[in-house]
Structure 1
Amino acid sequence: MPRHIRILATGGTIAGRGGSAVGRAYRPGQIGIDQLLAEAAALGLETLCEGREIAQVGSQDIGWSEWTALHREVREAQDDPAVCGIVITHGTDTAEETAFLLDLTLPPGKPVVLTGAMRPADALGSDGMRNLANALRVASDPDTAGRGVLVVMGDHVFTARDVRKAATQGAEAFRGFPRGSIGAVAPSSLDWFVPPARSDEPARFAWPASPPRVDILFAHAAMDRALIDGATAAGARGLVLAGLGHGNAPKAVLDALSEAAASGVAVVRSSRVDQGLVDRNVEVDDDGLGFVAARALNPQKSRILLQLALAAGLTDPAAIQAEFDAPRHTAP
């Protein structure tokens, strides 16, 4: 019997068109959910698909209103006994942020799988329909349950925590860090490399109605304190440093961040390096300055976790650090 999968569409390149098979320019979000469902049905997969349109935007324009609507629709699908799994079609630019946000705020339950495309639907070598077929394969597999939110791109399955977009073009644009992919998928097969990590635990964080402002600061040589002062003046309750190397920054920047931390602004040190582990008290005195080390989370995911931690009422640096130190899937 076919397994019932609900597709939630948000736009992106997978729903984009450029009007030329060989051109580079295109507009995302041009294909509606009805056409997407028709194309999915024509693939001949052993799944029964139905869908809902959440948005028709490029993922650079995904914001809290779209995330709230998407979260609500996923929870409804999880509670629907007729639905076996959920696939979200999404632009690739912020797919890792959406996946991580959902992973932190959803119970493990039914499979939730994000996918997208690096090439629009009418481009030569478009990867959208293959990625969608692979995502449907993952979402319909009983062994997907208990793995949290996943991202399927380029025949690979990644966890929400590990996945990151690592290239601006080409079908193999996504990587995992510190772990690589946890599975290999094709429309007709799926091989898992690791067992499920979650069971019946609750969502790690409740969905916040109004998330606090958290800004990311990109460190560079000769950087001064102007961006820190501007962010705090704009009302930022948290700051994430996309730091040099091991999360470092010029002294003027660290001094300004220390002042911000002393005034109650949460400060997290991450790295602008793509594969950047940031440990406590390496090059920077986190204990003395009141900072939090991001560990393996990149700046954009550090921002998501810090927003949720602040929204949950965590303000002490040690308590926030515990959230960054927590095992991959552990409820507080």
Structure 2
Amino acid sequence: MTKRLTVLATGGTIAGIAGSAIAKDYTSGQISIEEYLEQVGGLGLAAELSGTQIANIDSADIGPEVWGPLHAAIVDALADETCDGVIVTHGTDTLEETAFLLDLTLPATKPVVLVGAMRPADAVGYDGLRNFANAVNVAGDDDAAGRGVLVVMGDRVFGARDVRKMRTRGTDAFRGFPRESVGLVSPSSLEWFGAPWRHGDKAHFGWYDDLPEVAIIYAHAGLTAAQAVRQIGSDIRGVVIAGVGEGNMPETVRQILVAKCAQGLAVVRASRADEGLVDREPEDDANGFVAARALNPQKARILLQLLLAEGVSDPAAIQRAFDGS
């Protein structure tokens, strides 16, 4: 049976134009969803596609003003009995953040797949059409349901929790941690590496148009307490420290954050390293800190925002949420 898939477009490189097949520079978000679906219409994909333009921008500009309409459109599509799955076209720079936010706030009843490209549409070796054809294969597969939000890039399927952009160039720019890819896909084949992992189909969190402000402080050699304090404005409800090594920071910065914790600021220790767990340290209890575990700083920020929005501020309760993410 031909699957009916809803395509929601937000722009990015997959809809970008360079004006030359070999140019380095290009402009994201130049092709409309109508033009794009006309392009892919000649691929012979085994799906009926309908599209809506949510935005047409560089993903560096993605934020709440796009997330809100995008989330609402996906909710509507999932509730539509004529829709079998959703594909979101998205720029790669913040793709992992959008995917993780959606994974936490959407039910897992039908497939939701994010897809992008590393090369603009008029470049030699444009990867967007193949990635999109792969996304259609995944979104149309019955076994994709119950896996939460998925990301398809470079013939691999990633879970939203795991996926991260690891390289600035090349079509193999994405990896997963702690799970690598959860499936391999081509336009004509799909191999899953395990059973669906979302037990129950409800969203983990409600949707909030205004999330609490959480800052990310990037640790580096020579970071001073004064520099850290300048990044913690009066409206900041939480801080994620992109720490060195396993979430470490200079002692003077730690002391400042301990004092801020005592005043009600939520502090999560993550790592600026590409991979690795950040486990709890014996001092975390006394400091009031939370360990990010497998989440990188940008994903830790999103989870902390949602927890604070739901009124969860106790460090032990926040830690339980990170342990279970």
Interval containing the TM-score (normalised by the shorter chain): over 0.9
Q: How does 1:50-129 map to 2 (within 5 A)?
A: 50-129=50-129
Does the 8 A contact of 1:232 with 1:260 survive in 2? no
Note the alpha carbon deviations across 1:244-291, whole angstroms, 9 max, x for none.
001001101111111111110100000000002100006xx1111000
Partner of 1:37: 37
2:316 is aligned with 1:300: no
- SS of the residue corresponding to residue 207 of structure 1 reads coil
Does the 8 A contact of 2:64 with 2:209 survive in 1? no
Note the alpha carbon deviations across 1:182-226, whole angstroms, 9 max, x for none.
100000110001110124331100001310000100000111012
- The structure 2 residue matched to 1:288, chosen from 271, 283, 286, is 286
Does the 8 A contact of 2:11 with 2:90 survive in 1? yes
Partner of 1:164: 164
Q: How does 1:1-332 map to 2 (within 5 A)?
A: 1-281=1-281, 285-326=283-324, 328=325
Shift of 1:231: 2.9
Name the CA distance, whole Å, in 1 between partners of 2:202 and 2:24. 44
Name the CA distance, whole Å, in 2 between partners of 1:235 and 1:229. 13
Name the CA distance, whole Å, in 2 between partners of 1:300 and 1:277. 15
Name the CA distance, whole Å, in 2 between partners of 1:11 and 1:233. 32
Name the CA distance, whole Å, in 2 between partners of 1:122 and 1:233. 44
Paired letter, 1:225: A
- SS of the residue corresponding to residue 223 of structure 1 reads coil
Does the 8 A contact of 1:150 with 1:160 survive in 2? yes
Name the CA distance, whole Å, in 2 between partners of 1:276 and 1:68. 31
Shift of 1:162: 0.3
Name the CA distance, whole Å, in 2 between partners of 1:122 and 1:226. 47
TM-score (norm 1): 0.96
Does the 8 A contact of 2:90 with 2:114 survive in 1? yes
- 5+ residue gaps in structure 2? none
Shift of 1:65: 1.2
Name the CA distance, whole Å, in 2 between partners of 1:16 and 1:107. 31
Paired letter, 1:310: L
Name the CA distance, whole Å, in 2 between partners of 1:103 and 1:145. 12
Name the CA distance, whole Å, in 2 between partners of 1:296 and 1:253. 23
- Following superposition, which runs of at least 4 residues in structure 1 exceed 3 angstroms of deviation? none
Does the 8 A contact of 1:116 with 1:131 survive in 2? yes
Shift of 1:39: 1.3
Shift of 1:234: 4.0
Name the CA distance, whole Å, in 1 between partners of 2:234 and 2:97. 23
Note the alpha carbon deviations across 1:139-191, whole angstroms, 9 max, x for none.
00011010000000000000000000000000000000011001000001100
Name the CA distance, whole Å, in 1 between partners of 2:233 and 2:192. 48
Note the alpha carbon deviations across 1:93-115, whole angstroms, 9 max, x for none.
00000000000000111100000
Number of residue pairs matched by the alignment: 325
- SS of the residue corresponding to residue 134 of structure 2 reads helix
Q: What is the RMSD of the two structures over their aligned residues, measured on CA atoms?
A: 0.9
- SS of the residue corresponding to residue 307 of structure 2 reads helix
Name the CA distance, whole Å, in 2 between partners of 1:232 and 1:21. 45
Name the CA distance, whole Å, in 1 between partners of 2:54 and 2:234. 30
- 5+ residue gaps in structure 1? none
TM-score (norm 2): 0.99
Name the CA distance, whole Å, in 2 between partners of 1:291 and 1:307. 15
Q: What percentage of residue pairs aligned between the two structures are identical? A: 56
Paired letter, 1:3: K
